[in-house]
Amino acid sequence: MTALSEPAARAVPATGPVGRSIPRPDADAKVRGAAVYTVDLAEAGMLHAAVLRAELSAARITRLDTSAAVGLPGVHAVVTGADAPALSGMLVVKDQTVFAIDTVRYAGEPIAAVAAETPEQAAAALAAIALELEPLDPVVDLDAATAPGARLIHPGWADYEAPAEGFRGGNVAWDARLEKGTDEEWGWAFAAAHQVVSDEFRVPRQHQTPLEPHACVARHSGGRYTVHTSTQFPYSIRGRTAELLGIRPSAIRVIVPTVGGGFGGKLDAMLEPIACLLARRSGRTVRLVNTRAEELATAGPRENAVLRLRTAVDAEGRILAQEADVLTDNGANSSGETVICAGLPALALGSTYRIPLARYRTRVVYTNTPPTAAFRGVGGPYVVFAQESHLDHIARELGVDRRELRLRNVLRAGEAMINGQVLDDAILVEAMESVERRAPWNQERPAAPGKLRGKAVVPLTWLTNPGPGEASVSLSDDGTVLVTTAATEIGTGAVLTGVRQIVAERLGVHVDDVLVSAPDTDAAGFDNGAQGSRTTYGVGNAAGQAAGELREQILRAAASMMEAAEADLEIAGDIVRVTGSPGASVTLAAVSAAAMWSGGPLSATGRFVAQPPEFDSGCLIGSLFSTINATSSHAHAAEVEVDPDTGEVTVLRYVVAQDVGRAVNPAMIAGQVDGAVAQGVGYALYEDLRIGPDGQVLDQGLETYRIPTALDVPPIDLEILESPLPTGPYGAKGAAEPPIVPVAAVIACAVSDAIGARLTDLPISPFAVLAALRGSAGGTGS
C-alpha cells in the first residue's frame, strides 16, 4: 500500500500530477530500513530450506541416496528429481527440470533440496546426501559447442516441446535470421563497395546483482500453494512453477512483498518450485533464500556472446550491406529469456541506422554453464557495443569524422527500420543535437599531463515492451481510489509514482489519494511483469483506461445526487463540483456511499496490449521478436581519460539525451538514467562474471565480481526530450531500460579514441587497455 491519505480536505493542485516530480511514497521506509522484503518474512513454524547443487558442470549421476538425510534431527522434507519430472522452459523450448535427473549440465544445478527447523540442520542434511557423479567432458566455449562433432548437451533435444517452431538442433537451442535483399543485390553491394570492413567482438556475462537475492517463502494448504517471492513478474512465477510441478497455474497464488531490485534477473521461476515441493512434503511453511555465491553462480546473468560483423560501405561511409553472425550463450537450458531474445540482435543492429541489405544470424547455444537470462536491455548493450565499435573502425579506415559517419547513416522519421517497420516518431538527429549543445564535438579539452583523452557519441533507437496487462480501479468508502494490479514495483517508481500519477490525472483526484495494492495473483488479473520499461506505458494505459471509466461512473452518480447534468460536473481533489460554481459540490466519500446502496460499488477494469505495427514478416526466420514497439530516440556522449602507464580509465563526462514520449515524473526518469548509466559503466569497464575452463563460475562474491560504486560514476548531464507516443498514456514511452543500452558502446569508442587502438572485448580492464596500447605501436590514430 502507498502512503495513507490524510482525512482533511485539501486544496486542489492548479495542475494535474502528470509531469511533476512527486516524491515516491516508498522512499522513507526503504531509506530507514523499515520496508519488508521477502528476505525479511518469518512465521511461526517456518522451515529453512537448502539446495544440494552439482559441483561439476557435466556429469552422469551414478548414485543419489537421500535416506540418511531424511532421518536427521529437525529435517522435515527431502526432495529430488524423482519428485518433479516435468519439463518446462521460458515460453519456448521445454528443456528444463527442477532438479538434474540422471545428467548434470551445469555447476550449481540443483540435485536435491531439504527443509529443516534450522539452517544448520538443513546444512547437515545436505551433507548427509550420498551423491556420486561420473564426469563428462564439459562443453564451455561457444565456438567449441557449435563445432562439428561437439558433444551434445541435450542428446534428446529433438523430443523437447517447442510451442513456437524455429530452427534448432544439436547444441543450437535456437537460430533466428533476418535476411534483406536478394543474392544479386547482395553481390552487387559488395562488388560496388568502396571498402569492406570485418570485426569480431567478445563480451562476458554480466550479473544483475540485486541487493536482495532471489528469495521465497512457500506454503501448501487446502490443495493450493501460496508463494511470497521477490520477483518482477508474479504471473511468470505462477505459470512456470505450475509447469515444473505438473499442476494447474491456478493452484498457485503469488504475492510480492517489497522487491530489492531485479534488473531483469527476477523474471523467471528459480527457487519457487523447490520451496513449493518442500512445503507440500513437510506440510510447513518453507523459506528459501540464495546466498550471494548461489546468486552469482546460478541466477541467470546477461549472456556472454561472440559477434562477427562484416560491412560494405561506400566512400562516404554509407552502409551498403551488413552481415552479422552472433553466438549467444544459453547456458545449460532455456529457463531464461535468451532463446526468446534470439531475434533481438538483428533488430538492435538495424533500428538506429539505415541498412539497405542485411544478413543477420543469431544462434543461441547450449553450453555446460549456468543458464543465462534477461538483464536490463537484454542483448542490446553488446550488440550496440559491437555495431558502434565497428562503425568507428569504418570511420577510421575511410578517414571520415566519427560523428559525421553516424549522422550520414542514422534513420530519420518516416524511414523504415531493418524489419520494414516505419520509424515514425524518430528524433535521433535532435537527440544528437541535444548532446552537441552540451558537449560540442569539436571543442578540444586538453588532457592532463601524461594522460590520454577520448570522446564518442552514439545514437540509439530503443523499444518498450508491448505485453498485456489489466488493472482495476475502485472508489473506496472514504473517497480514495484503489488500483488493483499484479504490476510490480521493483524500485523504478513506475507503479508508485507513474501509474498513480496517471490515475490521479485521469480522475482529477489527489495523487496521495490513489493507493495501489501489493501484487497478488489471486486478487489481480494478468500482468506481463516489470520488464522492458512497460509499467508506466502498459500498466499506465490499462489503469488510465479504468480510471476514465470510473470517472464517468462517479460523475453519473454525482449528477443524480446533485440533480445536475454530468457534463457540468468535474472531479477536483476529493469532491465533485459544478464546473465554475465552487459552492455546489459533494464529496467523493458521499458519492461512494450513495452509489453503494443504489447501483452498487463503483469500479472499472482497464486492459492493454500493444497492437503490432506493420512490418516485413518475410525477412525474419525463426524470430520470436519481430517488431520494435513504441520506439524512443536516444543519444549518449562520453569523454574519458586514460592513464597509459596503468591502463586506468576515468569517465570524465557523460551526456544523455533521452526521448521519453512524455515525462510523467522527471525525477524518477533521471534516477533511472543515473542507475542505467552506472550499470553500463560497470559493463564497459569492470564487470566480468568469470567462467573457468571447466564451466564453473569463479566469482563467489562481490569481492571479486566488481560492480561500480559511487566513485566510478561521473555526474550525468541529462536532457529529457518529449516526442509523444499517440498510444502511450499522456504520450509516455518506456524510459527505464534504454539508458543502459548505449553506455558500453560510447565508453568503448571513447577509450579507443583516447588510445588510438581498437578494442574488441569487454570489459575494458586496465589489462585490456595496456594490451591494446602495446599492440598498436604507431596506432590507427583517430
- In angstroms, what CA-CA distances link 663 with 317, 407, 734? 36, 26, 10
Total residues found in the chain within this entry: 782
Answer positive or negative: Cα dihedral of 265, 730, 515, 481: negative
Q: How far is the CB of 376 from ligand SMO (least distance, A)?
A: 5
Does 260 sit near ligand SMO (CB under 6 A)? no
Coil, strand, or helix at residue 774? helix
Q: Terminus-to-terminus CA distance in the chain, angstroms?
A: 55
> 444, exposed or middle or buried, with CB in 10 Å at 0-12, 13-18, 19+?
exposed
Confirm or reject binding of residue 531 to ligand SMO (CB under 6 A). yes
**Contact pick of 235, 360, 366, 375 for ligand SMO (by CB under 6 A):** 375
Upper half-sphere CA count for residue 769 (Cβ side, 13 Å): 29
Q: Which amino acid is at 544?
A: G
Does residue 737 touch ligand SMO according to CB under 6 A? Answer: yes
Selected range binding ligand SMO among 51-59, 158-166, 369-377, 744-752, rule: CB under 6 A: 369-377
Which among 375-383, 501-509, 680-688, 771-779 is the span making contact with ligand SMO, rule CB under 6 A? 375-383
Size, binding site for ligand SMO by CB under 6 A: 10
**Residues between 616 and 655 that touch ligand SMO (CB under 6 A):** none
Q: Per-residue DSSP letters for 82-136?
A: GG----B-SSS---B-SS--SEE-STT-EEEEEEESSHHHHHHHHHT-EEEEEE-
Contacts (Cβ under 8 Å, ≥6 apart) of 778: none
Q: Does the CA dihedral 179-459-380-395 come out positive or negative?
A: positive
User: Rule CB under 6 A: is residue 301 a binding residue for ligand SMO?
Assistant: no
In the bound state with ligand SMO, the residue whose beta carbon lies nearer, of 392 and 737, is 737
Question: Which residue, 344 or 764, is less far from ligand SMO as judged by CB?
Answer: 344
Distances (CA, A) of 64 to 71, 79, 128, 148: 16, 11, 11, 33
Task: Rank residues 512 and 737 by Cβ distance to ligand SMO and give the closer one.
Answer: 737
β-partners of residue 689 are: 205
| Among the residue ranges 11-19, 27-35, 373-381, 563-571, the one whose residues contact ligand SMO (CB under 6 A) | 373-381
Q: How far is the CB of 405 from ligand SMO (least distance, A)?
A: 30
> Which residues in the 261-300 window bind ligand SMO by CB under 6 A?
264, 267
Least Cβ distance, residue 737 to ligand SMO (angstroms) = 6
Which CB atom, from 267 or from 278, has the smaller least distance to ligand SMO? 267
374 binds ligand SMO, rule: CB under 6 A: yes
Q: Which stretch binds ligand SMO (CB under 6 A): 249-257, 374-382, 687-695, 727-735?
A: 374-382
**Residue 377 Cβ, how far from ligand SMO at the closest point, in Å?**
6
Query: DSSP labels for 626-638?
Result: ----S-EEEEEEE
- Contacts with ligand SMO, 215-244, as mask; x by CB under 6 A: -----------------x------------
Q: Between residues 375 and 686, which has the closer beta carbon with respect to ligand SMO?
A: 375
213 part of the interface to ligand SMO, by CB under 6 A: no
| Least distance in angstroms from the C-beta of 718 to ligand SMO | 21
350 binds ligand SMO (CB under 6 A): no
- Residue 213 or 532: the one with the smaller Cβ distance to ligand SMO is 532
**DSSP three-state, residue 324:** strand
Listing DSSP states for 400-414 in one string gives --HHHHHHHHBPPTT
Residue (211 or 777) nearer to ligand SMO, CB: 211
> Strand locations in 258-338, DSSP E?
286-289, 305-313, 319-331
Residue 462 found at the interface with ligand SMO (CB under 6 A): no
Taking the C-alpha atoms of residue 424 and residue 263, their distance in angstroms, rounded to an integer, is 29
If one asks whether residue 378 binds ligand SMO (CB under 6 A), the answer comes out as: yes
Nearer to ligand SMO, 355 or 374 (CB): 374
Given a contact cutoff of 8 angstroms between Cβ atoms, the answer to whether 588 and 574 are in contact is yes
Of the pair 170, 529, the CB lying nearest ligand SMO is at 529
What are the grid coordinates assigned to 682, written together? 560497470
Q: In the window 81-110, what residues touch ligand SMO (CB under 6 A)? A: none
Phi and psi angles of residue 395, each rounded to the nearest 5 degrees, phi first: -60, -40
Residue number, 500 or 534, with CB nearest to ligand SMO: 534
Which residue's CB is nearer to ligand SMO, number 531 or number 545? 531
- Which of 376, 500, 510, 758 lies at the binding interface for ligand SMO (CB under 6 A)? 376
The answer to whether the beta carbons of residues 227 and 244 sit under 8 Å apart is no
* Shortest Cβ 302–ligand SMO spacing (Å): 8
Question: CB of 375 within 8 A of CB of 264?
Answer: yes
532 binds ligand SMO (CB under 6 A): yes
Minimum distance from CB of 300 to ligand SMO (Å)?
A: 11
Residue 85 beta carbon to ligand SMO: minimum distance, rounded to whole angstroms = 30
The phi and psi torsions of 777 (rounded to 5 degrees) equal -50, 120
Alpha-carbon Rg for the chain, nearest whole angstrom, is 27
CA distances from 148 to 20, 29, 772 (A): 59, 56, 33
Examine residue 50 and tell whether it contacts ligand SMO (CB under 6 A).
no
Options 149-157, 372-380, 470-478, 584-592: segment touching ligand SMO (CB under 6 A): 372-380
CA 533 to chain centre: 8
Closest approach of ligand SMO to the CB of residue 526, in Å: 17
Q: Output the residue with the shortest Cβ distance to ligand SMO.
A: 264
User: Amino acid letter at 398?
Assistant: L
Give the shortest CB-155-to-ligand SMO separation in angstroms.
Answer: 31
Interaction site with ligand SMO (CB under 6 A): 232, 264, 267, 374-376, 378, 531-532, 737
